[in-house]
Amino acid sequence: MAGLAPTFGRGAMTNHWVDIRNADLILVMGGNAAEAHPVGFRWVMEAKEHNDARLVVVDPRFNRTAAVADYYAEIRTGTDIAFLGGLISYLIETDQIHHEYVRAYTDASLIVREEFGFEDGLFTGYDAENGEYDKETWQYEYSDEGHALRDDTLQHPRCVFQLMRAHFSRYTLDVVSSVCGTPRDKIQHVWDMVAATVVDDKTMTILYALGWTQHSIGSQIIRTAAMLQLLLGNMGMRGGGVNALRGHSNIQGLTDLGLLSDLLPGYMTLPEADEQDYEAYILDRSRPDLLPGEVSYWRYYERFHVSLMKAWFGDAATEANNWCYDWLPKLSETLYDVIHTFERMSHGEITGYICQGFNPLAAFPHKAKTSAALSRLKYLVVIDPLRTETAEFWKNHGEFNDVNTAEIDTEVFRLPTTCFAEEDGTIVNSSRWLQWFWAAAPPPGEALPDTAILAGIFLRIQQMYRNEGGAFSDALLNLSWPYRYPAEPSPNELAREYNGWALEDVYDEQRNLVCRAGEQVEDFGMLRADGSTASGCWIFAGCWTDEGNQMIRRDNSDPYGVGQTLGWAWSWPANRRILYNRASARPDGTPWSERKAVVWWNGNRWVGNDVPDFPVESAPTVAQGPFIMNQTGRGQFFARDRMVEGPFPEHYEPFETPIANNPMHPSNPLAKNNPGARVFEQDRANFGSFEEFPYAATTYRLTEHFHYWTMHNRLNAIAQPEKFVEIGESLANELGIAKGDRVRVSSKRGYIEAVAVVTKRIRPLQVAGRTVHQIGIPLHWGYLGETKRAHLTNTLTPSVGDANTQTPEFKSFLVRVDKL
Amino acid sequence: MTLKVTRRQFFKLGAVGMATSSMAMMGFAPEPAVASIRHFKLTGAKITRSNCTYCSVGCGVLLYSRGDGAINSIDNIYHVEGDPDHPVSRGSLCPKGAGLLDYIQSESRLKYPQVREPGTHEWKRISWDEALTRIARHMKDDRDANFVDQDAEGNTINQWTTTGMLAASASTNETAYLSQKIARSLGMVVLDNQARV
């Protein structure tokens, strides 16, 4: 997601599942939708069958998506920036870009500061000692009014377009082939197929998933794809977009609600330690327009923030105390992500840990480190419907979990909770739809819903503070708790709270009453910064209005026949289904193509088959840009200071690479791997070299399993009973491994054993003059449940993350393989 | 007196000479033949709308349970199928969705709060009150010992970094919102979810 927001403004799938059917070309890279999202993938097949669409797959393995593709090209894991960067250069040099779209809807014409530069793999401002950038020069040149300078002819040598052109010019066909290991003719074929979507009435959609995020350069891979779609004019269009297929049922919702160390609900952010002044905190986030008159919707940040504080602290939040600003925790570190946390835990710096439906022992990289870290906790609380390896990390399971139980002094609580079938509530699917569901039966035994467990713990802590006093307690004692049964807040009450309501009558600028005190707000436009509204998550405003719960809606009619179903469930923001859909129309407000139309200007307002993602009365003559969350109103080729490792994507090798150096920068060791990545000392010591571990490994899902849950289900255990790894035929021959042999796969961090599947579907690649073999390792199976007992895959994986998100590099690491 | 008579016994009775017609008149009607009509297994089931809990497609599912919601009856889900009205999934389920019933009914479902005391080898069942009180006590003690209201530069940070939380990717928005609200009110910053992984 960290690649999408700096480009388009929001970190979410831009289009939706059914809209895939409107595409003319579907590019699947960094994902395997046929396997991991099989029912959503039907819309790809629908596009092929009824829209004459072509499907292209670029992946290390000839996977299940490739099996039904029109074209497949193999690629070395972790080299997608080179593949797509080369494509961007090819489009520019052969003049196959959407000129009018690029000029009107992107930042291509904006002029960048003179001091900005890029040399031998590093952007200006690199501090090699600390491994960090000073991003001061990564900016446009601004006028005295604070607006970016521009050259609409795109000829200025420092305009974004020319800088981008120069940046990617190094990614020639030969270079890309050498880095990626993809044969030249296949690269050219894919590039030509993609280039054909530059015309007005053709769109390409890009589907990706964890195959892009789980790299040390993951966010920049996604950005490269986003830039590609801007160049082709495929954003905001039917059948276009960059579609992040999220991995879990409600990862989108948890991210929307800010359950990440640095976030508050609705993509607001916690203050940093040195942001002591409330007004400065708000000012820094109320992003002004960088081009005159743009929407730049974050300018209303304070409305969303104050409404959140009113939802949390009620009457205690007043203008006089800056809406309880001091009560919010302030961050001393950029992120307290899981790699950071388990590093601290391994040094004994964490006392307690609560795992709510999360199984870190199986899900985090470098299991031995995770296990040692958990052993240093004083207490661990696991809230889960199922037995998990994490809850039993202290139990000896022989070679699968060889720990000394008596020496582990962690007190572990295991609390049974309801599963989806036993509770009411909503989850947000990848398309941003909030769908309400109902409990069908009570949970087994004494299991309780998570809300009752959380409330039970919280109310006890609160009582202890009332009785005993203790550390700072204003925030926890004043937390608004308006629930009918305090020990078990109901899903209805919580949903109404994150939607929000008026505390006093709310008026618009013309003094018209828009919402009476006590009424639910209808959209985030009603929220105010004066304390007269409360809303727990501004982007969800509109999901539960005075007309009732919008998330239960069940009208699947599709009057325009384009797959929008606006009456089914509710989609954030404001029930818009295709983000940035203003860009589906020309600057003059007419659709680029009738086939692709989403919204258009009818002379008075924006109308169409979707809710406009744009001010509905903003006339084309006003010329506001379609990317309303961005300060420029435009899609950003140049990320400015919003990315850690640079405003343009650059290829860097995985931290465990099967080749000696970065072919883009062979003589600069600082540019071998992502220069902005954070690596802890003990993790660096645990990286292997290609001399010792020669094969590139990648992990993935199977359609029959879901992580470490479904091994507890009999049906799924029957479908895929035993751990296996995939090895290409030529490597298997070299190592004397036959189909069905048991093998040991080892990395610097440990080993697993599994059955070898010898396959033609993984081919050796020629990379920088060397033959590279890739090994495929499904992430499933463990030693609990109904499948055959097996080692956890994350025994092997390295503990290093993407420089922006710290998502672990599960998709590229080094192993060796031995026949048992 | 009630006398249960199967069809076979009924005909046997007839064979030893009793007038079966008069038997029937006396109220000894035979039970229906097992082979006659087998009721459709979903007849009388309660149908509940839900969404699959695994990947992010959000397929519509229908949960079929038995039980009428009365105080003394316990509903039991015994069939799961795709929701044909759902605009994305249109009634389809993948092998994971098709196995949802086995997840709901899995042997590995937890039923009671348990604790594993330090250094010991087994789980011990405890009451909810004991579990929640002991956890709250741990959290308060740690918070009181390690809460930082001001950093070395004198900034007010009201931050608690020594107890952390991982939130669940399959939990509801309502659970997630409550987790966020509680965690931040305690000053917790070590908070993450699967989106990071």
pLDDT at B22: 52
Longest CA–CA separation in chain B, Å: 106
Q: Within an 8 Å CB–CB cutoff, is residue B108 touching chain A?
A: yes
Kindly tell me if the per-residue pLDDT of B6 is higher than 60.
Answer: no
Q: What is the mean pLDDT of residues A296-325?
A: 98
Kindly tell me if the per-residue pLDDT of B15 is higher than 50.
Answer: no
- The whole-angstrom separation of Cα A270 and Cα A246 is 24
Residues paired with A819 in a beta bridge: A743
Lookup: tokens for A12: 């979410």
- Among residues A770, A773, A805, A800, which one has the least CA distance to residue A687? A800
B123 and B100 together in one domain? no
Phi-psi region of A253 (alpha: psi -120 to 50; beta: other; left: phi over 0): alpha
The pLDDT tens digits of the residues spanning A415-428 come to 999 999 999 999 99
Q: What is the mean pLDDT of residues A590-596?
A: 97
The pLDDT tens digits of the residues spanning B148-170 come to 999 999 999 999 999 999 998 89
- The whole-angstrom separation of Cα A248 and Cα A228 is 27
Q: Where in chain A is the domain with CATH 2.40.40.20?
A: 669-819
pLDDT at A445: 96
pLDDT at B19: 46
Task: Search chain A and give the residue with CA nearest B182.
Answer: A458
- Among residues A157, A112, A158, which one has the least CA distance to residue A135? A112
Lookup: tokens for A798: 């390295």
Lookup: tokens for A446: 């004494």
Task: Search chain B and give the residue with CA nearest A20.
Answer: B88
pLDDT band at residue B2 using 50, 70 and 90 as cut-offs: very low
Counting Cβ atoms within 10 Å, is residue A129 exposed (0-12), middle (13-18) or buried (19+)? exposed
B116 and B135 together in one domain? yes
Lookup: tokens for A809: 């590099």
- The whole-angstrom separation of Cα A8 and Cα A639 is 10
Range of the domain at B92: 46-104
B154 and B137 together in one domain? no
Phi, psi of B165 (to 5 degrees): -145, 140
Residue whose entry in the numeric block shows the structure tokens 């139990």:
A395
Q: Say whether B87 and A558 touch across the interface (CB within 8 A).
A: yes
Nearest to A464 among B140, B192, B197 (CB): B140
For residue A449, list chain B residues with Cβ-Cβ distance below 8 A: 175
Q: Within an 8 Å CB–CB cutoff, is residue B175 touching chain A?
A: yes
Kindly tell me if the per-residue pLDDT of A727 is higher than 80.
Answer: yes
- The whole-angstrom separation of Cα A414 and Cα A152 is 62
Q: State the pairing for strand pair A765-767/A770-772.
A: antiparallel
pLDDT band at residue B69 using 50, 70 and 90 as cut-offs: low
- The whole-angstrom separation of Cα A814 and Cα A791 is 17
Residues paired with A757 in a beta bridge: A726
- Min Cα distance B34 → chain A (Å) is 30
DSSP E strand boundaries for A572-720: 599-601, 606-608, 695-700
| Neighbour tally for B84: CB within 10 Å | 12
For residue A471, list chain B residues with Cβ-Cβ distance below 8 A: 143-144, 147, 149
Residues paired with A816 in a beta bridge: A746
The pLDDT tens digits of the residues spanning A167-220 come to 999 999 999 999 999 999 999 999 999 999 999 999 999 999 999 999 999 999
pLDDT at B75: 83
Q: Within an 8 Å CB–CB cutoff, is residue A471 touching chain B?
A: yes
Q: Within an 8 Å CB–CB cutoff, is residue A259 touching chain B?
A: yes
Give the range among A516-525, A582-591, B171-180, B187-196 with minimum mean pLDDT.
B187-196
Domain count, chain B: 4
Say which CATH architecture domain A669-819 belongs to: Beta Barrel (2.40)
For B:4-43, CB contacts with A below 8 A are none
Kindly tell me if the per-residue pLDDT of A44 is higher than 90.
Answer: yes
pLDDT at B25: 53
- Among residues A161, A160, A189, A162, which one has the least CA distance to residue A173? A189
Q: What is the mean pLDDT of residues A597-615?
A: 98
Crossing angle between the packed helical segments A80-93 and A160-168, to the nearest 10 degrees = 120
**Rg of chain A in Å (alpha carbons):** 26
Residue whose entry in the numeric block shows the structure tokens 């989609």:
A571
For A:545-584, CB contacts with B below 8 A are 554, 556, 558, 563, 565, 568
Q: Say whether B117 and A716 touch across the interface (CB within 8 A).
A: no
Q: Say whether A250 and B136 touch across the interface (CB within 8 A).
A: no
| Neighbour tally for B35: CB within 10 Å | 7
Kindly tell me if the per-residue pLDDT of A567 is higher than 80.
Answer: yes
pLDDT at B16: 47
The pLDDT tens digits of the residues spanning A409-465 come to 999 999 999 999 999 999 999 999 999 999 999 999 999 999 999 999 999 999 999
Nearest to A457 among B135, B177, B195 (CB): B135
Q: Say whether A408 and B175 touch across the interface (CB within 8 A).
A: no
pLDDT at B20: 46
| Neighbour tally for A11: CB within 10 Å | 21
For B:110-169, CB contacts with A below 8 A are 110-121, 123, 128, 131-140, 142-147, 149, 151, 153, 155-169
Nearest to A357 among B90, B171, B181 (CB): B171
Q: How much is the ipTM here? A: 0.97
Q: Where in chain A is the domain with CATH 3.40.228.10?
A: 5-247+633-642
Q: Say whether A386 and B159 touch across the interface (CB within 8 A).
A: no
pLDDT band at residue B68 using 50, 70 and 90 as cut-offs: low
- The whole-angstrom separation of Cα B65 and Cα B85 is 19
Peptide bond into A573 cis (omega under 30): yes
pLDDT at A2: 79
pLDDT band at residue B74 using 50, 70 and 90 as cut-offs: confident
- The whole-angstrom separation of Cα B193 and Cα A728 is 35
pTM of the predicted model as reported, rounded to 2 decimal places: 0.95
Q: How many CB pairs under 8 A join A and B?
A: 475
Kindly tell me if the per-residue pLDDT of B3 is higher than 70.
Answer: no
- C-alpha to C-alpha distances, A406 to A395, A396, B116, B122, nearest whole angstrom: 9, 10, 12, 11
Report the run of H or E that residue A279 belongs to, with start and end. helix A278-285
Average pLDDT, chain B: 86
pLDDT at A494: 98
Nearest to B119 among A249, A312, A406 (CB): A406
B50 and B100 together in one domain? yes
pLDDT band at residue B33 using 50, 70 and 90 as cut-offs: low
Say which CATH architecture domain A5-247+633-642 belongs to: 3-Layer(aba) Sandwich (3.40)
Kindly tell me if the per-residue pLDDT of B18 is higher than 70.
Answer: no
The pLDDT tens digits of the residues spanning A743-787 come to 999 999 999 999 999 999 999 999 999 999 999 999 999 999 999
- Min Cα distance B149 → chain A (Å) is 7
- Among residues A15, A631, A521, A571, which one has the least CA distance to residue A301? A631
The pLDDT tens digits of the residues spanning A85-119 come to 999 999 999 999 999 999 999 999 999 999 999 99
Q: In percent, how much of chain B has pLDDT > 70?
A: 80
Average pLDDT, chain A: 97
DSSP A435-487: EEE---SPPSTT-B-HHHHHHHHHHHHHHHHHHH--S--HHHHS-----SSTT
Task: Search chain B and give the residue with CA nearest A338.
Answer: B192
